[in-house]
Amino acid sequence: MHKKFLLIAAMLFAIVISAISGTVTSQSAEVNIYSARKESLIKPLLDQFSAETGIKTNLITASADKLLTRMINEGRNTPADILITVDAGRLFRARQADIFQPIKSQKIEQLVPSNLRDPENYWIGLSQRARVIFYVKDRVNPAQLSTYENLADQQWKHRICIRGSDNIYNQSLVASLIAANGKAATQQWANALVGNMARPPQGGDRDQIKAAAAGQCDIAIANTYYFARMLENKKDPSQSEAAQKMAIFWPNQQGRGAHVNISGAGISKYSRNLDNAHKLLEFLVSPAAQSWYANANYEYPVNPSVKPGGLIASWGTFKADAIDLSKLGELNAEAVKTMDRAGWK
Amino acid sequence: MQGISENSLGWVIRYRTSELLKGWWQPGILLAALIFSIPVLTIASFLLQPSGDVWQHLVDTVLTDYLINSALLTLGVGLGTLSIGVTCAWLTSLCQFPGKKLFIWALLLPLAMPAYIIAYTYTGMFDFAGPVQTLIRDWTGWGYGDYYFPEVRSLGGAIVMLSLVLYPYVYLLARAAFLEQSVCVIEVSRTLGCNAWSSFYRVALPLARPAIVAGLSLALMETLADYGTVSYFGLGVFTTGIFRTWFGLGDSAAAAKLAAILLLFVFTLIVIERWSRNRAQYHHTTNRYRQLPQFQLTGFRALIAFVACLLPLLFGFLLPASQLGLWALDTYTVMVDASFIRLTLNTILLGLSTAVLAVLLALFFAYGKRVLASKLVFASVRVVATGYAVPGTIIAVGVIIPLAWFDNTLDAYMRDQFEISTGLLLSGTLFAVMFAYLVRFLAVSIQSVESGLAKIRLSMDEAARSMGYKPAETLFRIHLPLMKGSVLTALLIVFVDVMKELPATLILRPFNFNTLAVRAFELASDERLADSSTAALMIVAVGLLPVILLSKSIASSRAGS
């Protein structure tokens, strides 16, 4: 009995060991990616890149904070060539932690506008994501809407749905308000906004849009691509029905513009596949890849030569906040504290 | 009298054995305990870093909320798992009613359901914007605020979700304890005039208490470590607070202080559990085992028993699994491809090998405790068992830091001395993943193996030894057959736990390595519930087989039957 048991244990162990060694053997033409973009939102592009160049891509996905922790601790032996995040704050932090090196590519400098990359090219944006106001067409007159600041107004008492303060998109939004209006004014704004919430914050961005459409609130704050994915959802008609009750409102168009964050990437200071890493980033900002972001995930391209089509085009153009994105990273902790003090769950 | 002489003889034999083994066993255990405590100690060492004004900020703003919410959540899940687990265990072990044979194993099914999956599923169904409430509004014409409907995403909701998937721990151990009870005590209680209810309440329950508390402590540790459910529901508890402080506020020292408070919670639980075990040293005085008396329930009472067992099964498994099934019917054609089969195999392989290792280590620890009877060993095994209550991400970070340090130090040394780079030997390999699993799940296997070992009285060892068996022979001829049930239980629970494990897998895994839980969570957290259902259902399906085996193992673990 026990011999059989030991035999099975030994066999399993052998299989696992071989699995380990299988995954670490390196090939020459490859590039290793730590990605905070989810597998389904990056793998298709990587596969396309491999097909075009013959360069193999190796991927790990997890949240940016944890990948950053892993990369920092792995130090000069890190296998990562590229770190992809879904917000600028994390890219800023990675640069602060001294794990990036400047990206040297004229092609990228030509394709990506300078406000969407680090001043010294330690990181670049890959796609833009606008966080805006959605209102219920039946119950809200868009003339009453104007700015993020205006959401603190008494008229919106118990009418706003927004997700929790743990979420990085909200943290960045509040950081952008602190950058624009200062700490004290933003604290007042956050206090008032919490009073205007229709329910304690919960769920994700889509949940806010759904709750508004179902009548729980009149205003929802969300990223535009969630709204687009709901509208285009063929499998679950209830999602597109809900989204159709809502309309998009671009805030702060008379002032600094709507809050925009980026998903972006930087190259590891210790990259061993430097050429391939540059090739991949060049590919990711090329027109072909950029239109994939726009068409498959409804994000805004960073490459201005690529015009989003279809649904996104129908929303028209808007003015985006041109804030230095590093600021969002710098002010992130202050934003979290502000929300804590306001009682934003 | 008999008890005293048995104990003192036991002491003599134990003492002799310990003299022989102390040479290597005790240092071995201490070393192993140290290794598996490194991640928790690493996090604890952050306490030494200055945390600036962030800690004060937490104290001023959110700390009270975290304390109250965590305490309420623990209390609520405690009551929930206790009432469901003990009731069902009692009914299925000592009562006779229609459907009992099915319930015996089916009640374990929610064990295979990850808590975050059930949370996503129920929210999808019962949320204000979900189909059920929409239907109510369509029928009645009501709007928001016109009617009351319990909020899924709330503290109460989290208590229900976690209770529904964690009660099997209590059920499992309580049922095993009820089955082990000697027929005499129950019979005596009946002759002394107890009815079914009072013989449960006054005799069986106190006797089973140590096992019930053991199951409860597993459920509560899992509750304190949960991140997926509480963060989706937007609850400010310790786990969510730790992440926010660490990553949002960028202060690892303040985060470690929060983690330290969490560990204090856990130690309190452990102390309570130990205290309850020490106080409750009931031993059966006879070995008269035979078919336990069954209380035949009929009519209305049988119906109540049936419903009491059906409800947790319905809400903990049938309902969410059917919803997943419906979603999967729509999406499986897209979601099942070659990579899906690969990741299913990955998951199974990882689960199996971790389970085997966890059991081997648990045997090593548990026997050490039994043979050595040293306070130091007792304490170090306790420390190893705290990992279960620490959130997976925290463990993962606690694994990354020392492993990367080891790799980089070795690499630097080799470069210096021999001009070769060894690179990362352990970091980013499955070794790191399995190490993290072991740190988290050793508590489960130790718990189970220890309870099995406790059944084997020292007098049996003594008898075997006095009849000329060497220690190894005693182990294989006496212990192994008696321990089979507990060892199998440990294997299967760890297997199922590993399959559901998410955060440590996510961050520690090697390139291009996916598991079912990773796939399910990525899609679900991207608000693509329907797409995630195939992977979630596969976790449940792969978990089913062990769960069924598990119930068989308990049924056959009863001596004399």
Domains in chain A: how many in total? 2
Residues A9-18: what's their mean pLDDT? 55
What pLDDT is recorded for position A274?
95
Same domain, B26 and B55: no
Q: What is the pLDDT of residues B518-539, one digit of tens each?
A: 888 888 877 777 888 899 899 8
Q: What is the pLDDT of residues B86-130, one digit of tens each?
A: 999 989 988 888 888 889 889 988 988 889 889 988 988 888 888
Residue A284 near residue A210, CB atoms below 8 Å: no
> Is A287 inside any structural domain?
yes
Spell out which residues of chain B touch residue A171, defining contact as CB-CB under 8 Å.
248
Give bridge partners of residue A117 from the DSSP assignment. Answer: A124
Spell out which residues of chain B touch residue A165, defining contact as CB-CB under 8 Å.
244
Residue A160 near residue A199, CB atoms below 8 Å: no
Residue B194 near residue B206, CB atoms below 8 Å: no
Same domain, B34 and B112: no
Amino acid letter, B215: G
User: Per the confidence metrics, is the pTM higher than 0.90?
Assistant: no
Same domain, B230 and B350: no
Choose between B301 and B51: higher pLDDT: B301
pLDDT category of residue B293 using cuts at 50, 70 and 90: low
> B128 at the A interface (CB within 8 A)?
yes
Cα A204 from Cα B228, distance rounded (Å): 13
Does the pLDDT at position B395 exceed 50?
A: yes
Integer angstrom CA distances of residue A222 from A162, A211, A214, A246, B16? 7, 12, 16, 12, 70
CA–CA min distance A288, chain B (Å): 24
> CB count, 10 Å around CB of A18?
10
Same domain, A68 and A101: yes
What pLDDT is recorded for position B68?
93
pLDDT category of residue B251 using cuts at 50, 70 and 90: confident
Give bridge partners of residue A263 from the DSSP assignment. Answer: A127
User: What is the token pair recorded at B321?
Assistant: 């699994």
> Is A302 inside any structural domain?
yes
Give bridge partners of residue B143 from the DSSP assignment. Answer: none
Minimum mean pLDDT range among A12-26, B282-296, B302-316, B376-390: A12-26
Same domain, A190 and A328: yes
Highest mean predicted confidence (pLDDT) among A185-199, B97-111, B197-211: A185-199
**CATH number of the domain enclosing B501:** 1.10.3720.10
Residues A192-219: what's their mean pLDDT? 92
Same domain, B263 and B352: no
Q: Do B522 and A38 touch (CB under 8 A)?
A: yes
> B131 at the A interface (CB within 8 A)?
yes
> Is B36 inside any structural domain?
yes
Considering only the beta carbons, identify the residue of B408, B428, B526 that sits closest to A38: B526
Q: Do A32 and B349 touch (CB under 8 A)?
A: no
pLDDT category of residue A172 using cuts at 50, 70 and 90: very high
Share of chain A above pLDDT 90, in %: 74
Write the burial class of residue A153 (CB in 10 Å: 0-12 exposed, 13-18 middle, 19+ buried): middle
Does the pLDDT at position B283 exceed 60?
A: no
Phi and psi at residue A117, to the nearest 5°: -145, 165
Same domain, A328 and A182: yes
Q: Do B405 and A73 touch (CB under 8 A)?
A: yes
What pLDDT is recorded for position B24?
77
> B52 at the A interface (CB within 8 A)?
no
> B126 at the A interface (CB within 8 A)?
no
> Is B253 inside any structural domain?
yes
> Is A202 inside any structural domain?
yes
Cβ–Cβ pairs < 8 A, chains A and B: 188
Q: Which domain holds residue A34?
A: 30-128+261-314
Residues B172-190: what's their mean pLDDT? 77
User: What is the token pair recorded at B177?
Assistant: 């304890």
Cα B86 from Cα B107, distance rounded (Å): 12
CA–CA min distance B240, chain A (Å): 8
Same domain, B498 and B463: yes
Same domain, A336 and A235: yes
Residue B515 near residue B350, CB atoms below 8 Å: yes
Q: Which DSSP category does A97 fall into?
A: T
Closest residue in A to B402 (Cα–Cα): A73
Same domain, B243 and B271: yes
Same domain, A76 and A166: no
Spell out which residues of chain B touch residue A200, defining contact as CB-CB under 8 Å.
154, 234
DSSP, residue by residue, A240-280: HHHHHTEEEE-TTTTTT-BEEEEEEEEEETT-S-HHHHHHH
For chain B, the C-alpha Rg in angstroms (whole number) is: 25
How many C-alpha atoms does B533 have within 13 Å on its Cβ side?
21
Spell out which residues of chain A touch residue B143, defining contact as CB-CB under 8 Å.
215
Does the pLDDT at position A30 exceed 90?
A: yes
Same domain, A207 and A291: no
> B231 at the A interface (CB within 8 A)?
yes
Same domain, A197 and A328: yes
User: What is the token pair recorded at A299?
Assistant: 């994000």
Q: Do A73 and B400 touch (CB under 8 A)?
A: yes
Q: Do A69 and B400 touch (CB under 8 A)?
A: yes
Predicted ipTM of the assembly: 0.81
Considering only the beta carbons, identify the residue of A63, A77, A242 that sits closest to B129: A242
- Picking from A24, A168, A171, A246 by the largest number of B CB atoms within 10 A of its own CB, the best residue to mutate is A24
What pLDDT is recorded for position A6?
59
Same domain, A65 and A100: yes
What pLDDT is recorded for position B289?
54
DSSP, residue by residue, B258-323: HHHHHHHHHHHHHHHHHHHHHHT----S-----PPP-EE--HHHHHHHHHHHHHHHIIIIIHHHHH
What pLDDT is recorded for position B208?
82
Parallel, antiparallel, or unpaired: how do β-strands A219-223 and A160-161 relate? parallel
Residues B387-401: what's their mean pLDDT? 86
B207 CB contacts (<8 Å, ≥6 apart)?
B177, B181, B185, B282
Same domain, A166 and A298: no
> Is A204 inside any structural domain?
yes
Q: Do A23 and B246 touch (CB under 8 A)?
A: no
Considering only the beta carbons, identify the residue of B234, B349, B393 that sits closest to A200: B234
> Which run of H or E residues covers position A134?
strand A124-136
Does the pLDDT at position B424 exceed 80?
A: yes
Q: Which DSSP category does A117 fall into?
A: B
Same domain, A90 and A239: no
Q: Do B360 and A9 touch (CB under 8 A)?
A: yes
Cα A333 from Cα B366, distance rounded (Å): 46
> Is A6 inside any structural domain?
no
> Is A330 inside any structural domain?
yes
> Which run of H or E residues covers position B536?
helix B529-555
Q: Do B144 and A214 touch (CB under 8 A)?
A: yes
Integer angstrom CA distances of residue A314 from A188, B201, B214? 35, 69, 60
Burial annotation B329-363 (CB, 10 A radius, 16+ → b, else e): eebbeebeeeebeebbebbbbbbbbbbbbbbbbbb
A276 CB contacts (<8 Å, ≥6 apart)?
A29, A30, A31, A55, A81
Window B:172-201, CB contacts with A under 8 Å: none
CA–CA min distance A325, chain B (Å): 17
> Is A7 inside any structural domain?
no
pLDDT category of residue A184 using cuts at 50, 70 and 90: very high
Q: Do A207 and B144 touch (CB under 8 A)?
A: no
Considering only the beta carbons, identify the residue of B127, B397, B431 that sits closest to A69: B397
Residues B345-351: what's their mean pLDDT? 92
State the sign of the Cα–Cα–Cα–Cα dihedral B278, B282, B283, B288: negative
> CB count, 10 Å around CB of A158?
13
Share of chain B above pLDDT 90, in %: 24
What pLDDT is recorded for position B291?
61
Domains in chain B: how many in total? 2
Considering only the beta carbons, identify the residue of A2, A78, A201 that sits closest to B234: A201
Nearest-10 Cα torsion for A133, A134, A138, A141: 20
Q: What is the pLDDT of residues B484-506, one digit of tens each?
A: 878 888 888 899 999 988 888 98
Q: Do B401 and A73 touch (CB under 8 A)?
A: yes
Cα A147 from Cα B320, distance rounded (Å): 41
> B26 at the A interface (CB within 8 A)?
no
Q: What average pLDDT does the structure give for chain B?
A: 83
Same domain, B235 and B361: no
Does the pLDDT at position B5 exceed 80?
A: no
**Looking only at Cα atoms, what is the longest distance across chain B?**
83
Choose between B248 and B444: higher pLDDT: B444
What pLDDT is recorded for position A25?
43
Cα B462 from Cα B370, distance rounded (Å): 13
Phi and psi at residue A128, to the nearest 5°: -110, 145
Residues A264-270: what's their mean pLDDT? 96
Cα B452 from Cα B486, distance rounded (Å): 5
Q: Do B353 and A332 touch (CB under 8 A)?
A: no
Q: Which domain holds residue B113?
A: 49-280+291-318
Phi and psi at residue B251, to the nearest 5°: -125, 100
> CB count, 10 Å around CB of B537?
20
Give bridge partners of residue A61 from the DSSP assignment. Answer: A35
Phi and psi at residue B370, to the nearest 5°: -70, -45
Q: Do B247 and A213 touch (CB under 8 A)?
A: no
Q: Do A60 and B509 touch (CB under 8 A)?
A: yes
CA–CA min distance B262, chain A (Å): 19
pLDDT category of residue B334 using cuts at 50, 70 and 90: confident
Minimum mean pLDDT range among B67-76, B190-199, B220-229, B287-296: B287-296
Residues B272-280: what's their mean pLDDT? 66
Q: What is the pLDDT of residues A216-238, one digit of tens each?
A: 999 999 999 999 999 988 877 88
> Is B9 inside any structural domain?
no
**CATH number of the domain enclosing A334:** 3.40.190.10
What pLDDT is recorded for position A3?
57
Same domain, A112 and A176: no
Considering only the beta carbons, identify the residue of B234, B350, B360 that sits closest to A202: B234
Same domain, B32 and B119: no
Residue B453 near residue B370, CB atoms below 8 Å: yes
> Is A8 inside any structural domain?
no
Same domain, A274 and A333: no
Give bridge partners of residue A160 from the DSSP assignment. Answer: A197, A219
Integer angstrom CA distances of residue B202 from A321, B82, B199, B206? 70, 17, 5, 7
Q: Which DSSP category does A198 fall into?
A: S
H helix runs in chain A, sequence order: 2-24, 43-53, 64-74, 88-96, 106-111, 168-181, 183-196, 205-214, 224-231, 237-244, 274-284, 287-297, 310-314, 326-330, 332-342
> CB count, 10 Å around CB of A250?
18
Same domain, B174 and B196: yes
User: What is the token pair recorded at B502?
Assistant: 């998410």
Spell out which residues of chain B touch residue A26, defining contact as CB-CB under 8 Å.
none
Q: What is the pLDDT of residues B18-30, one digit of tens each?
A: 455 556 778 888 8
DSSP, residue by residue, B123-188: HHHHSTTSHHHHHHHHHH---TTSS----SSSHHHHHHHHHHHHHHHHHHHHHHHHHHS-HHHHHH
Does the pLDDT at position B476 exceed 60?
A: yes
For chain A, the C-alpha Rg in angstroms (whole number) is: 22
- Picking from B353, B394, B408, B495 by the largest number of A CB atoms within 10 A of its own CB, the best residue to mutate is B353
